[in-house]
Structure 1
Amino acid sequence: MARILVAMSGGVDSSVVAGLLAEQGHEVIGATLQLYDHGAAIQKKGACCAGQDIHDARSVADRLGIPHYVLDREQVFRREVIGDFADTYARGETPVPCIRCNQTVKFRDLVALARDLGCEALATGHYARRLEGPDGPELHRAADPARDQSYFLAATTREQLAFARFPLGGMPDKAAVRAEAARLGLPVAAKADSQDICFVPEGRYDGLVARLRPDAAAPGEVVHQDGRVLGGHAGIVRYTVGQGRGLGAASWDGGRKLYVAAVEPGTRRVVVAPREALATREAEAGEVNWLIAPPTAPLRCTVKLRAREAPRAARIAWDAGAGLLRISLEEPGIVAPGQACVMYDGDRVLGGGFLRARGSVDRGRAAA
């Protein structure tokens, strides 16, 4: 049996993880991250790591008879997740805050706490599988494709993966997890899943970004790819590559539906074009985290360019000198800078990085 730190968000998934590990006889310690002001967060419906969730996590810990710690990470979360979210939109890109959160306040900080407490592992409620391979731990998709969260774990380092455990990765579906919660007598068995981005639970992220980065909410022009001005907009924060809604009078051109082809923060222009003009076979990604030895020759695999899309066949090449991943898609796709490109070999995650506008300079944080 082992001493294991469980990241308890107050939801059903992480609560079941704590319950199952305690039932198996492990010495379980619960830890909850406080990411918001405790008093204000109690009223934040739909958010995770908020006041009610901390209360729920503590109730589960009491039910299981395990110690429970609350870590104040509000300032770190504001700087490294919310600040990065706003900065990414201000650059005309589309962020993936769940990856940043896993990369920083969750795995980095919780692994450090687990080691300080003498734990042998950190367990989370993520739907992914950690399997032992011939060269060490591997990250694989969850058994339930509808709940798979491997895309959001692609920035997890090999060292963190070696320390991590994902007990729900083999569960057939969420109904089975809720059944386990009920069997264990957990008070959150019927609790609803959190929705939307946790720090903007009503889904209105543009207001948040406007407060933090006012330039991103400044008005500008909507321009056709051929240079014609088709209308105006109320801030680049409201647009992402591939978007077809919210363009007003610029939604159509001669009976052809238009979509966002590019967002230019320097000129505050939103460039639109017919959908077929957005498709490309070539892409680049920076801040690449490898879960295998970085390949020295081009490699065929599948890639996901957005969390909700199916993997697509690609040929990748790692430019170690530039710190960039060169991606050649077999079938054209829409590439939104700021989103993650996650590479797979079957169900195994090979690594991942963040998509860049072609020819841009990478901004660091890269890991090899």
Structure 2
Amino acid sequence: MVEISLECAIVGQAGTFNVKIDNGKKVSVLMNAIKEKKPDTIKGDVKDLQLFLAKTANDAWLDGTGVEAVMIDEAAAVPVLFDDHGNRQGFVKMNPLLWIKNDQHFRANFQPGEGQIHVLVVVPGDAGVGVASFEPSALPTAVHRHPKRLKRWAAINEMIRQKNQEGNEKTSNSDTNKKRTKRDIDSSIPYSSLSWTDLELILPMEEFNLEASPVPDKVVVELRDRLVEIRKLYGDIYSGKAAKRQVYIVPIFEAVCLMLGDATILVEEDVKGKNVHVHGRFEFVLKRGRKRVSIVVAKRDNIPQGIAQNVAGLEALSDVEGLERTLGIVTNFLEWVFISDDDEKIRWIDDTLKIRGSVPSIESLREIVGMVHGLLVNGT
């Protein structure tokens, strides 16, 4: 027998761990060694564990990035991976009765390489660990979604698990040292509680080439005159809270919808993801036919948090409605961020409303109205 070093990963959990074991031992012995290595994570009967070779269809070992994209098919309780074309790949299950060095497993001449993952560990759902998963019976089914979208959802869910786990470990009162009520680590959280720091690495964003639509002079002049009257009634935009910002922002959306003639404004639209564990509310949604633009009114000095809230909400909207593209706007009236959340990538572009004499300049206002219009009409 020869001692070999196997790098293992629990599907749906961040990180990997190493197990050293003789290759002449049975896979059942490896199962015990894995449970002993992760006693706080793997609970329940060891016989309920499932081990799979972490090899792709072309016989290459997965690396850390590849493992992060693996999900569980809950109907079959097996790990699956989708390539960039949406093709599904399964993995070879290891037989507990056979030797580790069996030709179906690692063979006698196995040598580990740098950066390789060798064993995928699947823990049953009630054994104390959550996994990134999908339910083929759900509509829309995650199995039909783009692999890059699924990878983002898995990463978001893992980040949320860690947040929930950290919350469970904190005390609610340092004086009484009483534990707060524990929550399921896989429970959904409001996307308003997320920061851009939480999502920046999970949801990288590219530049969005959004063209502003032409806006008639009459529309811009009437809108500016209205904003002048709003300032007389409510005071400067620089003071006050979210409610005042909304008073300034809504006329811009109204102007766009009136230009189109067939667009409407929805107020306080709730969205809760099924496969991605976030929920919350958009302050406004511009709706024209089947196209929607979901809007977050950001805090005056925290546009990044508004972006995090909007993008998380767009991912949830894509989840529940089966959309390949969702569109969003984040604004505090002075700053504007336009977002296109597509299956393959997320794009964004920002602009600033220039103020002249305490109200927006005509040309700056024309640009913002044109970009909102362009997003609702084109959004490509």
TM-score, normalised to structure 2, is 0.25
Q: Which structure dedicates a bigger proportion of its chain to strand? A: 1
TM-score, normalised to structure 1, is 0.25
